[in-house]
């Protein structure tokens, strides 16, 4: 257990529904990242927060995706009007920051299945 | 062509074998190189990172970087069944966002 928690661990939804995932980082970590991982692939970067500021977004993050980190603590990732192609593992990671290679600690992920 | 190439395997070895896992990359701007281990249904866990060509050792693990060939390796000595997992290489340009390989599935059988 890295100390990063994600909820729910599994989500099954029907196409067109909205879903929201939550990530609770390690408490003193000021950076928080979201990744998407599909079967047989490595994690792909989606977006990144420094405290409450969303500093970078991948072009993978379509308009249907939105992420927030109010007060620089937990973060939520919402997917609107889900599509079958959104089925994947959504990973959250957090880090202390301050160096180029500061260690990212990953949560266990939320596995999304869109029917 | 992907920026980071990694053979997905699976790689099956007997317990006690030396394992060699490899990645190649195309972007010479990559400066930092990492290896993550991911067990089934878990998030990735950082094993090692390095930022220079050469070798870095940590217990049974050795990370090797050859920037001239754009090639990195992870060696596992005296492999154990508990080492069975997917191993992901990752690298970045000095920003905080790593680019991951697709991972190599390793199976160590008793």
From the list B43, B101, B102, which residue is nearest A107 (CB)?
A: B43
Quote the minimal CA–CA distance from A4 to chain B in Å: 10
Contact (CB, 8 A) for B102 and B7 = no
Partners of B34 in the β-ladder: B49, B90
Q: How many CB atoms lie within 10 A of CB A103?
A: 15
| Cα–Cα distance measured from residue B69 to residue A41, given in angstroms and rounded to the nearest whole number | 24
**How would you write the pLDDT of chain B (110 residues) with one tens digit per residue?**
789 999 999 999 999 999 999 999 999 999 899 999 999 989 999 999 888 888 999 999 999 999 999 999 999 999 999 999 999 999 988 777 899 999 999 999 99
Q: Are A108 and A93 within 8 A, CB to CB?
A: no
Q: Which of A41, A42, A48 sits opposite B97 (nearest CB)?
A: A48
- Cα-Cα end-to-end distance for chain A: 30
Q: How is B43-81 classified by DSSP, letter by letter?
A: --EEEEEE-SSEEEEETTEEEEEETTTTEEEEEESS--G
pLDDT at residue A100 in the model: 56
User: Which residues make beta-bridge pairs with A77?
Assistant: A21, A67
Q: How close does chain A come to B65, measured CA to CA in Å?
A: 16
DSSP structure class, residue A9: S
| CA–CA distance, B72 with B12 (Å, rounded to integer) | 20
Cβ under 8 Å to B: A residues 42-101: 42-45, 48, 56, 91, 93, 95, 97, 100-101
> How many residue pairs bridge chain A and chain B with CB atoms within 8 Å of each other?
62
A61-71: pLDDT as tens digits: 889 999 999 98
Token pair for A22:
């939550």
pLDDT value at residue A2: 80
Which residues in chain A come in under a pLDDT of 70? 99-101
Query: Please, are residues A108 and B42 in contact by the beta-carbon 8 Å criterion?
Result: yes
Q: Contacts of residue B41 in chain A, CB cutoff 8 Å? A: 108-109, 111
CB contact under 8 A, B42 and A45: no
Residues, chain A, total? Answer: 115
Residues B106, B87: contact at Cβ < 8 Å? yes
DSSP assignment letter at A71: G
Q: Note the pLDDT of residue A86.
A: 96
């Amino acid at each position: 257990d890295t100390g990063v928690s994600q909820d729910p661990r599994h989500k099954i939804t029907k196409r067109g529904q909205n879903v929201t995932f939550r990530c609770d980082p390690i408490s003193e970590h000021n950076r928080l990242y979201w990744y998407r991982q599909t079967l047989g692939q490595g994690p792909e970067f989606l977006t990144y927060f420094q405290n409450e500021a969303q500093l970078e977004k991948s072009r993978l993050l379509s308009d249907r995706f939105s992420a927030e980190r109010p007060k620089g603590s937990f973060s939520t990732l919402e997917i609107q009007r889900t599509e079958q192609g959104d089925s994947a593992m959504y990973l959250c990671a957090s880090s202390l920051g301050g160096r180029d290679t500061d260690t990212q600690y990953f949560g266990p992920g939320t596995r999304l299945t869109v029917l | 062509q992907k920026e980071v190439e990694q053979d997905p395997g699976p790689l099956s070895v007997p317990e006690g074998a030396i394992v060699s896992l490899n990645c190649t990359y195309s972007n010479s701007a990559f400066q930092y190189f990492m290896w993550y281990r991911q067990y089934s249904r878990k998030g990735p866990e950082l094993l090692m990172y390095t930022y220079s060509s050469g070798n870095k050792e940590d217990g049974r693990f050795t990370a090797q970087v050859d920037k001239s060939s754009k090639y990195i390796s992870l060696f596992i000595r005296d492999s154990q069944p508990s080492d069975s997992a997917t191993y992901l290489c990752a690298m970045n340009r000095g920003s905080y966002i790593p680019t991951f390989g697709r991972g190599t599935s390793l199976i160590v059988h008793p």
